[in-house]
Structure 1
Amino acid sequence: MTCGANEWCARFVERHRAALNFATLVLGYVLYLIVGPGFSPPSSCRTNVSCAELKDARRDFLNASPCVDEERLEKLLARVLEASNYGVTEHGKNDTDQNWDFVSSLFFTSTVLTTTGYGHTVPLSDEGKAFCIFYALFGIPATLLFLSAVVQRIMVLVTRQPIAYFHRRWAMSKSVLSVIHACCLAIILTLLFLIIPAWIFITMEKDWNFLESLYFCFISLTTIGLGDYVPGSTHTKEARPHPDLYRLGITVYLLVGLIFVLVMLETCCELPQMRRLRQRFYNENIHELDPETANIIDREQLNEPTLYTADPLPTIPTVSEQAASMRKDKVLGYTPANGVNGKLR
């Protein structure tokens, strides 16, 4: 009975291997989500300390200003907090005249269409909210189509052609070349779109340190967009005489950076190792095929030929094409080099 049960379990696992792997993946992801809130107690303690400090500051202010009405102060603070949530501030650091000019609107639409959504600037009127719904309803699919087309063209230049070139030049395995290329591309893109921009933001944003700048770049390029750090939101005109140009540059950086992040993700997805890993969670089980067919499919997936090779393989003409070519040679009076006439024997 024990041997039979073991054989039945082995057959069941082999037959439903993809489903069991998928269930394991779902369970692991759920556990990963549960681990995240485990880091909330330190954050909550820090928030409680901030709230206590804020209450102490409010009490000290009321004690130092006995003529201030507490109820009116609460209304003022609530109004200031509400305006701050909409990106409107009234203090010495921010004396911009417009909060919804063309460049700010362009920055807002780019964050909406790329689903970054910082949330520091939002439409207040009902008409603006309705327009935002329809604008994003058609704009997000169009943005995905645009990004997909751009990414595929860049993939040809920075991923597929280099791998095919070095594969022919060095006769190395495409699997090894793909891993080396992905690592080199990741290092280059990290320097160009994370490290270097973070150092630039340090010089432009006086209140940010390197970690905060790096945090902003990562949160933005991954379209998380928490909105706790927004460049150019707390600067005077004296500190930056061209705020529109600065924000326009940030918009271009976010769009270009998002494109190359997608290129990096697509490059990683095309790795043969990633393809084999994804196969573990598919419904189709390649091992159920005969060994010869499974081996052929596996080789095709690991060494997928690219459409952009410099030296394409010669095509073999069909029998009908050869016959048509010989009839054409006969009509033109072409004599083969071996002296045989054009007749078939």
Structure 2
Amino acid sequence: MLQSLSSNSCVRLIQSNRSAWYFVLLALGYALYLVFGAVVFSSVELPYEDLLRQELRQVKRQFLQDHECLSEERLEEFLARALEASNYGVSVLNNASANWNWDFTSALFFASTVLSTTGYGHTAPLSDGGKAFCIVYSVIGIPFTLLFLTAVVQRIMVFSTRRPVQYVHTRWGLSKALVGMVHAILLAFITTSCFFLIPAAIFSALEENWNFLESFYFCFISLSTIGLGDYVPGEGYNQRFREIYKVGITLYLLLGLIAMLVVLETFCELQQLKHFRKMFYLKKEKPEDRVTILEHDHLSFSSVSDQASSLREDKTGEPFVESPPLAYLSPDGSINR
């Protein structure tokens, strides 16, 4: 019995140490991935930022030369005020002055971006009351949204994933792991077509200044809830049927987010990914693991019996009456009965 307990504890200790090392490698890999992204973004974008800064300085110098009556300080004040208003979604340009950020459809679009945590940032509350309400609205609304999306995805998964995979598995006798993998890839392809490729083509046709890559970029940034806000549809000054367009975009974002969660959950249910994830997780504590194995020179059957009885009391909720120990180890190492 002692040898069995010792061998089991050694196996669990080895598995726990292996999981800890896997976790350390995972954390190190994540840190390296962050550094890799920072290096690539910096090397790619820094030259463009420098070029844009030089162009803006040149435009500013040329403007001051053409208008000598205007001082640089007054120009700086005007630009600072204009940029501050632009950060709240209010533009001084004539072309954009016709678009209101807080009519009903725009507010509905803003509410959807808040609850889905997309948050483009092109529009923000202007008043203190709006900021306070946004806090309260988000505290209640974000958990509410997670609950709603979880319930919807759980129901869709039954018809989109579990039943089809089970049907093919039982109908043709194919491996369930293989069927699940093929189904997940097919579902990902359909979702990519319906919520990325086709909408990107539509956005590139409706938005004057967007090409297909920029439209696809918007779809990905939105449905992944990154929401950088550099591309926001429906903000053009000559946008036709802007209200209907905004409502359609709101529905697209909601349905697309649900589709993305369904695909993600489908891949998470694959046996291959389950085994891979378990490499980095803590092992679930079994009830018998709570029985600590002491050093042999301090081991007594009564101590093990007492802890085992406490475990049984935890399971049943009733005290466990233990019979007297059959044997114990005396301090000198001999077994007394």
Give the TM-score taking structure 1 as reference length.
0.77
The offset of 1:11, in angstroms, is 10
Asked if residue 106 in structure 1 is aligned to residue 108 in structure 2, the reply is yes
How far the C-alpha of 1:100 sits from its partner, in A, is 0.5
Alpha-carbon offset, residue 233 of structure 1: 1.3
What pairs up with 1:94-243 in 2 under 5 angstroms? 94-96=96-98, 98-236=100-238, 240-243=239-242
User: Does the 8 A contact of 1:18 with 1:285 survive in 2?
Assistant: no
1:115, 1:14 → 2: CA distance?
38
Cα deviation digits, residues 262-319 of structure 1 (max 9, x gap) = 0000000000001111111222289xx9xxxxxxxxxxxxxxxxxxxxxxxxxxxxxx
Displacement of 1:124 after TM fit? Answer: 1.5
Deviation at 1:98, TM superposition (A): 2.5
Q: Any stretches of 5+ residues in structure 2 without a counterpart?
A: 1-10, 289-337
Q: Which runs of 4+ in 1 moved over 4 A?
A: 10-15
Q: What corresponds to 1:277 in structure 2?
A: 276
**Aligned residue runs from structure 1 range 306-321, under 5 A:** none
Q: Are residues 135 and 15 of structure 1, via their aligned partners in 2, closer, same or farther at CA, if it must alter by over 3 Å?
A: closer
Aligned residues: 276
- The 8 Å contact of residues 13 and 20 in structure 1, kept in 2 or not, is answered as no
The equivalences for 1:257-336 within 5 A come to: 257-284=256-283
Partner in structure 2 of residue 91 of structure 1:
93
Identity of aligned residues (%): 54
Structure 1 counterpart of 2:282, one-letter code? N
CA distance in 1, matches of 2:217, 2:181: 27
Distance in 2 of aligned mates of 1:285 and 1:260: 31
| 1:245 matched residue in structure 2 | 244
Q: By how many angstroms is 1:15 displaced?
A: 5.1
Residue type matched to 1:119 in 2? G
Any gaps of 5 or more consecutive residues in structure 1?
Answer: 1-9, 290-345
1:14 positional shift: 4.9
- The CA distance in 2 between the partners of 1:69 and 1:254, in whole Å, is 47
Match for residue 38 of structure 2? 37
Structure 2 distance, partners of 1:125, 1:285, is 49
Q: Do 1:268 and 1:274's aligned partners in 2 also have CA atoms closer than 8 Å? A: yes
The 2-side partners of 1:11 and 1:123 are apart by: 54
Residue 249 of structure 1 deviates from its aligned partner by 0.4
1:300 corresponds in structure 2 to none
RMSD across aligned C-alpha pairs, in angstroms?
1.9
Whole-Å separation in 1 of the counterparts to 2:283 and 2:15: 13
1:29-66 C-alpha deviation (Å, 9 max, x unpaired): 11111111102133112101101100000101111121
Contact 2:16 2:282 in 1 (8 A): no
- Measure the CA separation in 2 of the matches of 1:82 and 1:183: 46
- Counterpart of 1:30 in structure 2: which amino acid? A
Corresponding position of 1:305: none
Q: Which has the higher contact order (CA 8 A, sep 6+)?
A: 1
Between stretches 92-101 and 103-112, larger displacement belongs to: 92-101
